Amino acid sequence: MRTLRVGDDALLVEVSCGEEAEALHSELARRPAEGLLTVRELVPAARTVLLDGLDDPDRFAAELTASRTPPAPPRPSEVVEIPVRYDGPDLPAVAALWDVTEQEVARLHATTGFRVAFCGFAPGFGYLTGLPARYHVPRRSTPRTAVPAGSVALAGPYTGVYPRPSPGGRQLIGTTDAVLWDHARVPAALLSPGASVRFVPVGAV
């Protein structure tokens, strides 16, 4: 674990792997409610957790590095289920990359237990980990100028669902009717860091 100061009042904690970042974020995220941490933003990412708006970043860094890395927390019992039709335009390309049939892509994806490692890119967009390394795929060489909302996509180690129409370079394998982001709903985001996620196939696979 390494801590990097960011500006006057933020700290970037860098760890060695994604699982460690998820565990650290999970541990830190429960502290504000217990009055153990005052922070404006707590932002997990691929290998880091950012703490923005700390009173005393140096003291926090010293305490954090002195304590042992917290153990991975138990998985939350509630699983967010996202219904998906495996009908994406990049399904054949992904099947070729995985060296399996399109039906097998759908089966493998739908039987994987995912976790929201972090969010970003757009409100409600979660970076979901869980696919084994052999199923990680590159981005498309040419990004699409318009990806429809609800597109279920793969890029690198992550699965994600586009919350709204946007340009994008991820490989599209399916479509969901689930509403990833609705600011009139509480909570607005269907997926938040640490949540467990499963994709449930609907229609013909």
DSSP annotation of 68 reads P
φ, ψ (nearest 5 deg) of residue 86: -85, 80
Rounded Cα distance, 140 and 132, in Å: 20
Token pair 């404006």 in the structure block, residue = 40
Rounded Cα distance, 101 and 107, in Å: 10
Task: Report the interface residues with other proteins, using CB under 8 A.
Answer: 4-10, 12, 29, 40-50, 52-53, 118-125, 127, 164, 183, 188-189, 192-193
Residue 104 CB, nearest approach to other proteins (Å): 29
Q: In DSSP terms, which residues pair with 85 in a beta bridge? A: 175
Nearer of residues 40 and 75 to other proteins, judged by Cβ: 40
Helix axes 102-110, 91-98, angle to 10 degrees: 80
Closest CA to 127 of 98, 101, 156, 159: 159
Residue 21 CB, nearest approach to other proteins (Å): 10
Residue 95 CB, nearest approach to other proteins (Å): 27
Nearer of residues 5 and 75 to other proteins, judged by Cβ: 5
Nearer of residues 16 and 103 to other proteins, judged by Cβ: 16
Residue 202 CB, nearest approach to other proteins (Å): 26
Nearer of residues 93 and 122 to other proteins, judged by Cβ: 122
